[in-house]
């Protein structure tokens, strides 16, 4: 259905959408179904690359528990209108219409049983049925608004449109086509952009910590991770660069450089009580063997080496530990104050925090307050979902809001 790569763009179209990702394709299908002539252009060689790589190849396409508090934004109320008008159940109805098999993995997260391609094919088919055209490898060099319509210059010629929808996503994973294009367009039309930051991204560790922690690479532990007054209880995963896993990805969206992340490695027990009981009973277990009851042996030894490098803890039986030592050990396990060296950045981040300022956009239509006919949808906006299908739900909901009016 993609128009041939040699042909020029149509001279005039009702709706031109830049970005053929989740939001752009959904918006094209909705606007096309209203009878609008629609063209979606993308500078990448293929559409929907992030959909294909999402959810480990199975696309966590929505979350049935989606609520406004699953999103981070300078304007936390902004997402409410679109999310309430296009819910996870609306998207599930579409998925059902295409007989795409799916399952709930955990915590309301819906994944395809087979491949993420099922979702992309569904969106392409919706565009086809709505008569929306898609053009890849199309670069926009210039945008102008002249009193009634937009005029775009591209490597496939110029094109005029009444409505221009920016669906170019955020900065994460540049190799998948991510660019700051949407922010540039916002700035061109004098629309504010809030500071951006890689989010849902692994932390890196300082070399002296990594020298020890890297031995645990591949191990995961259920933990409670907190910073800035927010906590997530899920797994953390040690990597050869630092720490990742769902709890870390979630908290990374709230983390500011050089601040502490509190990690409770044993959220389900009171370690001090346990240690005291062993001591009272005269236990001759070493600290490593005792901690290995709750963590793996390797994890216990590595953390003891990391936290107490010069101590005599290794061979001493628990009965000989001072109360203050036990307290110190419990404190470290329940409240490990980890200061990340940084994050892995946009190279591996799932999303971009920040973006086009929602205070400058209509929450009903996604149209810019300052520029009639200009719309921003999906990740390019300052709306960032938690891990678990929320970012796609935002892409669908904001796309439908714009597609119904653009």
Ligand X SMILES: Cc1cc2nc3c(=O)[nH]c(=O)nc-3n(C[C@H](O)[C@H](O)[C@H](O)COP(=O)(O)OP(=O)(O)OC[C@H]3O[C@@H](n4cnc5c(N)ncnc54)[C@H](O)[C@@H]3O)c2cc1C
Residues that bind ligand X (CB under 6 A): 18-24, 42-44, 49-50, 53-55, 59-60, 140, 167-169, 172-173, 177-179, 181, 350-351, 378-380, 389-392, 395
In the complex, the smallest distance separating the C-beta of residue 184 from ligand X, rounded to whole angstroms, is 8
Task: Give the SS3 label for residue 246.
Answer: helix
In the complex, the smallest distance separating the C-beta of residue 254 from ligand X, rounded to whole angstroms, is 17
CB atoms closer than 10 angstroms to residue 403: 31
Q: Which residues contact 220 (CB under 8 A, 6 or more apart)?
A: 235, 236, 237, 238, 245
Give the bridge partners for 84, in sequence order: none
Interatomic CA distance for residues 209 and 397, integer angstroms: 42
In the complex, the smallest distance separating the C-beta of residue 109 from ligand X, rounded to whole angstroms, is 8
Residue of closest CB approach to ligand X: 21
239 or 302: CB nearest ligand X: 239
18 or 95: CB nearest ligand X: 18
CB atoms closer than 10 angstroms to residue 115: 14
24 or 242: CB nearest ligand X: 24
Task: Give the SS3 label for residue 79.
Answer: helix
Q: Which residues contact 31 (CB under 8 A, 6 or more apart)?
A: 14, 15, 17, 38, 130, 132, 163, 165, 402, 403, 404, 406
387: which DSSP letter? T
Q: From the CA atom positions of the chain, what is the Rg in Å?
A: 25
In the complex, the smallest distance separating the C-beta of residue 163 from ligand X, rounded to whole angstroms, is 17
91 or 336: CB nearest ligand X: 91
In the complex, the smallest distance separating the C-beta of residue 108 from ligand X, rounded to whole angstroms, is 12
Evaluate whether 302 touches 357 at the Cβ level (below 8 Å): no
Task: Give the SS3 label for residue 388.
Answer: coil
248 or 330: CB nearest ligand X: 248
233: which DSSP letter? E
In the complex, the smallest distance separating the C-beta of residue 215 from ligand X, rounded to whole angstroms, is 27
- Nearest residue to 398 (alpha-carbon basis) of 22, 70, 3, 10: 22
143 or 205: CB nearest ligand X: 143
In the complex, the smallest distance separating the C-beta of residue 291 from ligand X, rounded to whole angstroms, is 34
Task: Give the SS3 label for residue 118.
Answer: helix
In the complex, the smallest distance separating the C-beta of residue 131 from ligand X, rounded to whole angstroms, is 20
In the complex, the smallest distance separating the C-beta of residue 206 from ligand X, rounded to whole angstroms, is 26
Evaluate whether 396 touches 26 at the Cβ level (below 8 Å): yes
178 or 221: CB nearest ligand X: 178
* Alpha carbon 389 to its chain's center: 9
Task: Give the SS3 label for residue 275.
Answer: helix
360: which DSSP letter? G
In the complex, the smallest distance separating the C-beta of residue 127 from ligand X, rounded to whole angstroms, is 13
182 or 340: CB nearest ligand X: 182
Place of tokens 């027990």: 269
102 or 390: CB nearest ligand X: 390
Interatomic CA distance for residues 281 and 261, integer angstroms: 35
336 or 390: CB nearest ligand X: 390
């Amino acid at each position: 259905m993609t128009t041939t790569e040699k042909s020029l763009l149509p001279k005039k179209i009702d709706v031109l959408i830049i970005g053929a990702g989740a939001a752009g394709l959904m918006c094209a299908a909705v606007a096309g179904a209203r009878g609008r002539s629609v063209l979606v252009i993308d500078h990448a060689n293929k559409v929907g690359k992030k959909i294909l790589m999402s959810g480990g190849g199975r696309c966590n396409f929505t979350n049935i528990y989606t609520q406004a508090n699953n999103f981070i934004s300078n304007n936390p109320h902004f997402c409410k209108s679109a999310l309430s008008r296009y819910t996870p159940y609306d998207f599930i109805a579409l998925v059902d219409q295409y007989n795409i098999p799916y399952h709930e993995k955990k915590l309301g997260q819906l994944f395809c049983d087979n491949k993420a391609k099922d979702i992309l094919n569904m969106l392409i088919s919706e565009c086809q049925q709505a008569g929306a055209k898609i053009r890849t490898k199309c670069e926009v060099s210039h945008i102008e608004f002249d009193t009634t319509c937009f005029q775009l210059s591209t490597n496939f010629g110029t094109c005029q449109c009444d409505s221009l929808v920016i669906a170019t996503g955020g900065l994460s994973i540049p190799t998948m086509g991510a660019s700051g294009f949407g922010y540039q367009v916002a700035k061109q039309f004098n629309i504010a952009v809030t500071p951006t930051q890689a989010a849902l991204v692994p932390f890196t560790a300082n070399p002296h910590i990594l020298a020890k922690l890297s031995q645990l690479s591949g191990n995961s532990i259920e933990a409670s991770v907190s910073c800035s007054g927010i906590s997530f209880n899920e797994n953390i995963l040690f990597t050869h660069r630092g720490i990742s896993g769902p709890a870390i990805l979630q908290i990374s969206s709230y983390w500011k450089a050089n601040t502490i992340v509190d990690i409770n490695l044993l959220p389900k027990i009171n370690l001090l009580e346990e240690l005291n009981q062993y001591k009272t009973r005269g236990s001759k277990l070493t600290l490593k063997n005792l901690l290995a009851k709750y963590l793996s042996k390797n994890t216990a030894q590595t953390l003891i080496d990391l936290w107490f490098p010069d101590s005599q803890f290794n061979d001493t039986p628990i009965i000989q530990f001072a109360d203050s030592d036990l307290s110190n050990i419990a404190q470290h396990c329940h409240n490990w104050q980890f200061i990340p060296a940084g994050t892995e950045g946009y190279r591996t981040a799932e999303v971009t925090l920040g973006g086009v300022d929602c205070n400058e956009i209509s929450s009903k239509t996604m149209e810019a307050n300052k520029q009639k006919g200009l719309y921003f949808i999906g990740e390019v906006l300052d709306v960032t979902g938690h891990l678990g299908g929320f970012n796609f739900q935002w892409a669908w909901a904001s796309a439908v809001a714009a597609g119904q009016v653009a």
